[in-house]
Amino acid sequence: MQAVRMHQTGGPEVLALETLPDPAPAPGAVLIDVEAAGVNFIDSYHRSGLYPQPLPFTPGVEGAGTVRALGTGVADWRIGDRVAWAGAPGSYAERIVVAADRLVPVPAALTAEQAAAALLQGLTARVLTAETCPLAPGDPVLVHAGAGGMGRLLIQMARARGARVITTVGHADKIPLARAAGAERVIDRSHEDVLAACREWTAGKGVRAVFDGIGAATFDASLAALALRGMLVLFGQASGPVPPVDPARLAAGSLFLTRPSLFHFIAEPAALRAHAAAVFGALTSGELQLLIHQTLPLSEAANAHRALESGRTTGKLLLVPNSMER
């Protein structure tokens, strides 16, 4: 099979397509023909060494495909089943072995590309808005990077809970995409002051919550934009890690700061299946709208990472086996 491998950490250039032996499913695991793999910032953290992994390493933690073979003891799946996963490393490949209890079924109404584009970010958006900081009708919230794949899902899920959303984008041409997702106000970070815009939008009170996946570049404004007892949900660091923070800064408004990881919320298989069913159900009903920015062959993994890190993408990036390139 073909797989993207990295033998050292570094920039996108360390990603190369190689031919490897087909893996065999271990007991309790399933061998899957990968039809689409999601490209996420966590993949770039693995590649850069920010989140160290044993080398050589195949990146990618999210995908969808068809069950090819079963390991001993697997009773919940059959060959030919359509499945998706989030959190299983090695997804940038033609085949992958995933523990049976970390798989979720893909509804017949969804394509593999839709499932791979929605699962990790959809699960994250659902957990952030429903469990990390449960939103209530009327809550004003700030979502950073509202035109990206993650941001658009966060806006839609916050709106589904009745929250009001102000969002940021990095370029003026992204404003219509963020508005279409349901944002009430869109801030162009390249020309507007984020804090001033949030204060004006909330009549000086500040927002109930900030969902920040950018990190270092936005942290200070995110913290300052909060209302009394507001919560900063720092779920990523696309611009780099946030320097150490003095907890005394939170006393300015009895503020809350959290750095959640999706995988702690879906550690139990039942929780994973329930959240995934909700995300796929919202997609199937049309309540949740996906935007796939681009689908590239595995051989273009380095270019996919360059595009992701450029800040110019709108929606989700996917990788597919070269034989399935469209």
Query: What string of pLDDT tens digits covers the 326 residues of the chain?
Result: 999 999 999 999 999 999 999 999 999 999 999 999 999 999 999 999 999 999 999 999 999 999 999 999 999 999 999 999 999 999 999 999 999 999 999 999 999 999 999 999 999 999 999 999 999 999 999 999 999 889 999 999 999 999 999 999 988 889 999 999 999 999 999 899 999 999 999 999 999 999 999 999 999 999 999 999 999 999 998 888 999 999 999 999 999 999 999 999 999 999 999 999 999 999 999 999 998 989 999 999 999 999 999 877 777 999 999 766 54
Of 242, 259, 276, which residue constitutes the final position of a domain?
259
- Which domain CATH number covers 202? 3.40.50.720
Work out how many domains the chain is built from and give that number. 2
The pLDDT of residue 306: 96
Same-domain pairing of 229 and 297: no
Note the pTM of the prediction, 2 decimals: 0.91
At residue 297, the 3 state secondary structure works out as strand
Same-domain pairing of 83 and 187: no
CA angle 241, 245, 247 (to 5 degrees): 145
Alpha helices (runs of H) in 107-174, residue ranges in sequence order = 112-127, 149-160
Same-domain pairing of 109 and 197: no
Residues 6+ apart with CB under 8 A from 275: 123, 126, 127, 265, 266
Does 282 reside within a domain? Answer: no
Q: Which residue has tokens 């009903």?
A: 285
* Token pair in block for residue 58: 């195949």
The pLDDT of residue 263: 93
* Token pair in block for residue 246: 């003095």
Of 259, 281, 313, which residue constitutes the final position of a domain?
259
Of 235, 259, 283, which residue constitutes the final position of a domain?
259
Select from 212, 182, 181, 180 the least CA-distant residue to 194: 212
Range of 244's domain? 137-259
Does 124 reside within a domain? Answer: no
Does 129 reside within a domain? Answer: no
The pLDDT of residue 282: 96
Does 74 reside within a domain? Answer: yes
Whole-number Å distance between alpha carbons of 214 and 275: 24
Alpha helices (runs of H) in 33-111, residue ranges in sequence order = 41-48
Does 76 reside within a domain? Answer: yes
Does 209 reside within a domain? Answer: yes
Same-domain pairing of 14 and 98: yes
- Which domain CATH number covers 307? 3.90.180.10
Does 164 reside within a domain? Answer: yes
Same-domain pairing of 249 and 191: yes
Does 123 reside within a domain? Answer: no
The pLDDT of residue 54: 96
